[in-house]
Amino acid sequence: MRRKAISLIAIIAVLVALGFWTSSRWDVWFSNPEEPAYVASNEPSRILLTFGDSTATSRNISWMCDSVVMPSYIELYDTTAHKLAQSIPAIGEVYESRSGKAAYYHGKLRDLLYGHTYKYRVATGEAVSEWHTFTMQQEGAPASFIYVGDVQDSIDGVANSLLKNAFKNNPDAEFLICGGDLTERPIDEYWAESFRTLDSIGQSMPVLTITGNHDYLKGIIGNLERRFSLIHSYFLDSMIGENQVFTTHYGDIQFFLLDSNREFPYLFTQREWLEKELIASKAKWKIVIAHHPLYSIRGSMNNLVQRWMFDDLVRKYGVDLILQGHEHAYARMTNEGSTPVYTVSHCSPKSYRIEFDDIFDKFGSGTRYYQKIHASNDTLYITAYDANNGTHYDSLLIVNNGNMKNIIDCGKNIREVVEFEPAPGSKKDAEFAERIKEYKEKHKDRF
Ligand SMILES: [Fe+2]
């Protein structure tokens, strides 16, 4: 009898503790900030050039205009061939979010010509945008692009000037990849901020984005609003069930985009898709983009489901590079000199506390980063820069010697910067400051 009473008390104590813990974490797990009311502009706005389908010669253009669907089209002019402008019909759809609605459009440009420059404008009803220009890559030429992890800029943030500087310093970069959480929250004013971030880049260079946890409305099962895919419109034709997966080619690279924020059964569907695509791939360079790092820098028990789902595939089928985000610091892992290379980076105003696991061979903390990747026939050159001042932070070269790939670590002699400003009174911050001190003492050669 006494034993039963003790067991009952223990169970009640556990349930009470669980209740307190759940209620203290409730907002973090489940609550969404309210979306302030908004009215869509009656001029075409938020124009975004993206990739189209799995071919290298496709592009999509999306935009937003008003809140009812009207006849809409893209006027496209091949300035290289001096051809007459073509009118490409757009598909429109009204999306009603929690506090407003807008009509979203996208048009599909297919079989574009390598090396040609195109001018375009978009039209909805009588309203017409200004002209924008983009240039297609040369066939067989090396490819360069800029990658940023989470941006999540605060309202009127500086990400636009950081990205413009990144492209100014890397004039050969031809497109932008965002590793999820480009937008702080799925509410219209943060979407507006994301378009300020992309302004004058996203109309003339294709932008490729994956989903991150901040793109989802929180709940017991996360919910990705349809406007995410209406904007990043290549997903509309490529998603499998509710999984935002996509693959495309550019030069010698094939990209594989994962939707790593999903629950277990969804990740399993993505695993099946990824395996099928990797088996079929003949690309020289295979790059996977995933928001959640398969090897976490925030603790060895994090993201185990994602690692279990995808890591054996990327190793088995010869993926060269996995670009990741989510953990708001910089890290790279080279598997003792063999591919795949895993990197984590972010370009956000927020830095997170990390662990310093020995499986990684370089860390960075306390600033924003961008990466530049350059792929040629036999080398993949992976670099990282401090986005705030353009300082060169890391470099790795993967050399394809036919039947073997070698990694040359060109970044190991670049001094690491691991900085963190502890909040007064925060025990966890103080512990992190102590961890940094120990890490710096242990790896004096890196500083
Ligand atoms: Fe994230």
Amino acid at 383: T
Calculate the CA 346 to chain-centre distance.
9
pLDDT band at 18 (very low <50, low <70, confident <90, very high): confident
Which tokens in the block code for residue 276?
């099928």
CATH class of 143-409: alpha beta
- Asked if residue 25 has pLDDT above 80, the reply is no
- Which residues are registered as beta bridge partners of 74? 88, 122
CA 148 to ligand 1 center in whole angstroms: 12
Q: What are phi and psi of 195, to 5 degrees?
A: -75, -30
CA 147 to ligand 1 center in whole angstroms: 15
- Which residues are registered as beta bridge partners of 288? 256, 322
The CATH code of domain 45-135 reads 2.60.40.380
Q: Domain locations in the chain?
A: 45-135, 143-409
CA 179 to ligand 1 center in whole angstroms: 9
**Whole-model pTM?**
0.94
- Which residues are registered as beta bridge partners of 95? 102
CA 150 to ligand 1 center in whole angstroms: 7
Angle formed at CA 391 by CA 387 and CA 396, multiple of 5 degrees:
95
Mean pLDDT computed over 249-259? 97
Mean pLDDT computed over 312-332? 97
Neighbours of 121 (CB within 10 A): 18
Q: Do 204 and 133 meet the contact criterion of CB atoms below 8 Å apart?
A: yes
CA 295 to ligand 1 center in whole angstroms: 14
187 contact partners, CB below 8 Å, separation of at least 6: 33, 34, 35, 36, 97, 98, 99
Q: Which residue has the tokens 């001029």?
A: 43
- Asked if residue 26 has pLDDT above 80, the reply is no
pLDDT of residue 219: 85
pLDDT tens across 193-211, in order? 999 999 999 999 999 999 9
CA 180 to ligand 1 center in whole angstroms: 7
CA 40 to ligand 1 center in whole angstroms: 27
pLDDT of residue 22: 63
pLDDT of residue 14: 78
CA 259 to ligand 1 center in whole angstroms: 12
- Asked if residue 24 has pLDDT above 70, the reply is no
pLDDT tens across 83-107, in order? 888 999 999 999 999 999 999 999 9
Q: How far apart are CA 345 and CA 329, in angstroms?
A: 5
- Which residues are registered as beta bridge partners of 400? 405
Four-residue CA torsion sign, 299, 305, 311, 312: positive
CA 217 to ligand 1 center in whole angstroms: 13
DSSP state of 33: P
